[in-house]
């Protein structure tokens, strides 16, 4: 359980995986924005934490115990990464991990149905701005498809983006590049340098860099600090998703 190790190696990832993009022509316009959901475009009000706490108890981990607190902290630090991957790291037994993942999804669905979620202020305006500017939008998550749909339905966002993806749609979740590359193929983007990835976690940044995106931007509305995001290799860090259009405008002015 060493999530900080993934963050601390971010500079190496940045150097090794984005050197070509840094050296290449910066005149590539952004034509696809892959936006993370919970923590970036969506506030869950602690819902995912509550779902995780319930799930750990259901799996026989006593609430309040040292093991419980360590697992909960680890899950928070692994924000952005497929929950199935996280449970596989938390539980040695593959069957226990699969059971925990199923229970977590059910707990998420129940809590979303009870309390709903809300958009990060400016998120919907940003999505509209991007699409008006001719930039396609993909909403990506580390949660399962049903949970993602529950979030989208709760917000009234079904159809608000050009595409929504979860790890099962792409093969692997973050920090692997699969979801970004799946979006590139599905939306007919002809150059990965025309992609911007925006997220609140080190895993989002790693995912964007590994895919070859020219922009891998962090936001400060989620679980990881500016230092962690920059340590992961973020090309930019902005306070919130509402500041992303201004970032793209500044970038365009330098072309």
Residues 143 and 87 both lie in one domain: no
| Residue that finishes a domain, picked among 74, 92, 115 | 115
Cβ atoms of 170 and 182 closer than 8 Å: yes
pLDDT of amino acid 253: 85
| Residue that finishes a domain, picked among 115, 132, 153 | 115
Residues 148 and 40 both lie in one domain: yes
Tens-digit pLDDT profile for residues 191-226? 999 999 999 999 999 999 999 999 999 999 998 999
Residues 205 and 88 both lie in one domain: no
Residue 107 domain boundaries: 47-115
pLDDT of amino acid 27: 57
* pLDDT reading at 22 higher than 60: no
Number of domains in the chain: 2
Residues 25 and 77 both lie in one domain: no
Residues 125 and 62 both lie in one domain: no
What pTM did the predictor assign? 0.84
Residues 104 and 57 both lie in one domain: yes
Query: Across residues 119-129, what is the average pLDDT?
Result: 97
Average pLDDT over all residues of the chain: 89
Tens-digit pLDDT profile for residues 52-81? 999 999 999 999 999 999 999 999 888 888
Residues 77 and 134 both lie in one domain: no
| Residue that finishes a domain, picked among 115, 134, 163 | 115
Query: Across residues 178-186, what is the average pLDDT?
Result: 98
Mean pLDDT lowest among 13-17, 67-71, 106-110, 150-154: 13-17
Say how far apart CA 90 and CA 171 lie, in whole Å: 21
Environment class of 154 (CB within 10 Å of its CB; exposed 0-12, middle 13-18, buried 19+): middle
The residue to which tokens 């500041």 are assigned: 243
Smallest CA-to-CA distance from 199 within 158, 238, 146 is with: 238
Cβ atoms of 217 and 244 closer than 8 Å: yes
Residues 51 and 76 both lie in one domain: yes
Cβ atoms of 223 and 38 closer than 8 Å: no
Residues 7 and 99 both lie in one domain: no
Residues 68 and 13 both lie in one domain: no
């Amino acid at each position: 359980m060493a999530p900080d190790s993934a963050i601390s190696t971010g500079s190496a990832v940045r150097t090794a995986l984005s050197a070509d993009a840094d050296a290449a022509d910066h005149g590539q316009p952004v034509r696809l924005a892959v936006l993370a959901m919970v923590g970036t475009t969506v506030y869950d009000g602690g819902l995912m934490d509550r779902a995780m706490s319930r799930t750990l108890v259901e799996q026989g981990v006593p609430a309040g115990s040292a093991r419980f607190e360590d697992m909960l902290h680890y899950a928070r630090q692994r924000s952005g990464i497929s929950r199935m991957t996280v449970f596989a790291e938390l539980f040695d037994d593959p069957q226990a991990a699969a059971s925990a993942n199923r229970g977590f999804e059910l707990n998420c669905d129940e809590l979303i149905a009870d309390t709903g979620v809300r958009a990060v202020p400016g998120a919907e305006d940003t999505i509209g701005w991007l699409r008006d500017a001719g930039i396609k939008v993909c909403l990506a998550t580390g949660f399962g498809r049903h949970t993602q749909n529950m979030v989208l339905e709760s917000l009234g966002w079904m159809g608000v983006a050009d595409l929504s993806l979860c790890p099962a749609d792409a093969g692997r979740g973050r920090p692997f590049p699969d979801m970004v590359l799946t979006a590139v193929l599905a939306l007919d983007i002809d150059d990965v340098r025309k992609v911007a990835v925006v997220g609140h976690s080190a895993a989002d940044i790693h995912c964007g860099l590994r895919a070859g995106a020219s922009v891998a931007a962090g936001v400060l509305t989620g679980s990881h600090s500016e230092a962690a995001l920059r340590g992961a290799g973020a090309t930019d860090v902005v306070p919130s998703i509402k500041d992303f259009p201004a970032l793209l405008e500044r970038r365009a002015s330098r072309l």
